[in-house]
Structure 1
């Protein structure tokens, strides 16, 4: 039986709050149904792929499944319902993500890997309860009530329902939920502004790297990536880099002497040190592979969506890089590394070198030699 070291599964709570088991705060709960590939009535079915890490549901790819009219008549999701990812997750992601239903979906339902919780509004604010359950998954506390099967994680639903949760009075619940919604709205606005800025940057890159600064050039020369100003120098990549070095293939771990960067450490053209693994190396090997400002990392092996991802190292890093990454060092007498990085991230150039990607089992590969002399 699951035990609590504190007042609730999350921790100790104020003296005027109470701990309440999840099950006691629900008006109703039910599991989903995946339906059939064909049938009489089409129904929209939410599944694990519609969950996000933020609690918002992604409706861009909702499955259509088929049921009898009698079965379909029993479906429907209400504003305030909470969806719980009961089975799923992954090697580094616990199961138990939460999805908020923000408006009535009278004809919708969920798959058999998802559980619907309908909070009792007389006992608990639905948004407050949703954020409490969200915190269980976000912090990894949820791992105490999950079981691992082959390639999948499953919630122990009996223990999950018995979890003691913080339960202030309803007015305080609403105030807490409102404060979290304000923060969530601010995050959503910032993300939208960031994406708009990135789109502007992509648009500028598509123009500046082939036409130059507006109004400065009138004569253009046709090249494989499109017209470029006639007075620009045109060179192959291999002519403006001084070295092309493959990364390390040693085993990685959660701890070790040095951080080792992977594909996920290249984001929007920049190399970062977020969520790193570690590797044990002698000092001489570390110095040979240590990343320095201006280095460009090229992702040579991945899915077709991510192969060829490129990022620049902004500052010297006490880190090395994995074998499926390649370090390109620019000849700074000819080209600025940051300019080269932006150029390689432009749509025209990236589409050009991605032509060299060859498919393999579940991934694609780009031979750096082909790119260097393309």
Structure 2
């Protein structure tokens, strides 16, 4: 039997925040928004905001409870869903105005069954059928009347949930292994070079300027639909320090500008403008084909004293991230670190042969990680195929 989603839920509501928004260091009750929902159906609690206890007690809506389904209602991640299970870390928490909270009528449906349906590509497409608006669009409460869901017996739903939970656990183990590789990379850097604050190996201390031969900004020219060169922007560098070319724009360059704006294999790319949390993302360009860089990026070429992997390793280390966070200047919601400031950063100057050893190690790990990412993507595809088979 196929029914509207509205038939199997007992509550649908959004939340709110105090007048003036949520401020750091104020409040004791977690307030979750779209940024806290992860694409795997879980949560990211690294940067949780809090609302005052008094405000939370005054609210009758948007209070998170066990077995709730949270769904993003507007913006770029509209229809992303997460499930509040027994491992949810907050005894009391609320949602802000960018989320819907769904409570399932357990006499008709199992909450996790409804979650898996909304998590599936088929369910997500139905939710997005209610999407409206151009600049910052979203879904309305009416999405529950436009989204249809298959309604099986409760025993059959339990069987399907058990099957999907088992498949998802296998999928998540692969992702956890990938996360461990990122931690391993950081530990390798620290083991080989140490923390600059203590300098346990007694290396000379200099500045990034001492290790580079060229530093250039990217072009401010707009992207075009069919350009000669792929156009790298700030979203093409990950926070963990890798290149992500899954979403590329394109651009044409005059021949005289190619030397200024094209990245070549071994270049260090630095994201000079972004939010305060993301400014300073750094990665080594490891592709053989040339790509143009946008103005929010800085292209750095090292001299004979350094390898790009070493500088990238430092800027992606905990100490490096803290240094970047402390030095960036915020302007109207965006933070900036210019080329001069980048070059002024203090850095250990270990011998090149040690940097080469480090470079070989991380290249091996990156190759392994890429294989695991490919396998993870295949597992995701298989998981979606399983859900499609179960729900169709």
- TM-score over 0.5 (shorter chain): yes
Q: Is the 8 A contact 1:43 1:109 kept in 2?
A: no
Residues 263-291 of structure 1, C-alpha deviations (whole Å, 9 max, x = no match): 22222222231322333445664565332
Three-state SS of the structure 2 residue aligned to 1:245 is: strand
Unaligned runs of 5+ in 1: 1-17, 212-223
After the TM superposition, which residues 165-184 of structure 1 pair with which residues of structure 2 at under 5 Å, given as runs?
165-184=149-168
After the TM superposition, which residues 11-90 of structure 1 pair with which residues of structure 2 at under 5 Å, given as runs?
18-26=1-9, 28-32=10-14, 34=16, 47-49=32-34, 50-58=36-44, 60-61=48-49, 63-66=51-54, 79-86=66-73, 89-90=74-75
Cα 1:234–1:143 change in 2 (3 A) is: same
- How far apart, in 2, do the equivalents of 1:43 and 1:351 lie? 25
Q: Is the 8 A contact 1:298 1:309 kept in 2?
A: yes
Greater RCO structure (CA 8 Å; 6+ sep): 2
After the TM superposition, which residues 230-269 of structure 1 pair with which residues of structure 2 at under 5 Å, given as runs?
236-252=207-223, 256-267=227-238, 268-269=240-241
- What does residue 329 of structure 1 align with? 301
Q: 2:245 aligns with which of 260, 263, 273?
A: 273
Q: Is the 8 A contact 1:31 1:112 kept in 2?
A: no
Please report how far the alpha carbon of residue 298 of structure 1 lies from its aligned counterpart in structure 2 after TM superposition.
1.4
CA RMSD of aligned residues (A): 4.0
- How far apart, in 2, do the equivalents of 1:274 and 1:35 lie? 35
- How far apart, in 1, do the equivalents of 2:234 and 2:63 lie? 41
Unaligned runs of 5+ in 2: 20-26, 346-392
In proportion to residue count, which structure has more strand? 1
- How far apart, in 1, do the equivalents of 2:205 and 2:98 lie? 55
In proportion to residue count, which structure has more helix? 2
Cα 1:152–1:348 change in 2 (3 A) is: closer
Residue 299 of structure 1 pairs with residue 271 of structure 2: yes
- What does residue 221 of structure 1 align with? none
Cα 1:35–1:48 change in 2 (3 A) is: closer
Please report how far the alpha carbon of residue 246 of structure 1 lies from its aligned counterpart in structure 2 after TM superposition.
1.2
Bigger Rg, structure 1 or 2: 1
Please report how far the alpha carbon of residue 176 of structure 1 lies from its aligned counterpart in structure 2 after TM superposition.
3.1
Residues 302-342 of structure 1, C-alpha deviations (whole Å, 9 max, x = no match): 233222222111232342211111111123x4433323432
Aligned length: 332
After the TM superposition, which residues 100-115 of structure 1 pair with which residues of structure 2 at under 5 Å, given as runs?
100-103=83-86, 110-111=95-96, 114-115=99-100
- What does residue 120 of structure 1 align with? 105
Q: Is the 8 A contact 1:76 1:106 kept in 2?
A: no
Moved more, 155-164 or 350-359: 350-359
- How far apart, in 2, do the equivalents of 1:43 and 1:36 lie? 13
Please report how far the alpha carbon of residue 43 of structure 1 lies from its aligned counterpart in structure 2 after TM superposition.
9.8
Q: Is the 8 A contact 2:15 2:96 kept in 1?
A: yes
- How far apart, in 2, do the equivalents of 1:194 and 1:285 lie? 38
Q: Is the 8 A contact 1:45 1:64 kept in 2?
A: no
Moved more, 338-347 or 294-303: 338-347
- How far apart, in 2, do the equivalents of 1:75 and 1:240 lie? 52
- How far apart, in 2, do the equivalents of 1:35 and 1:349 lie? 34
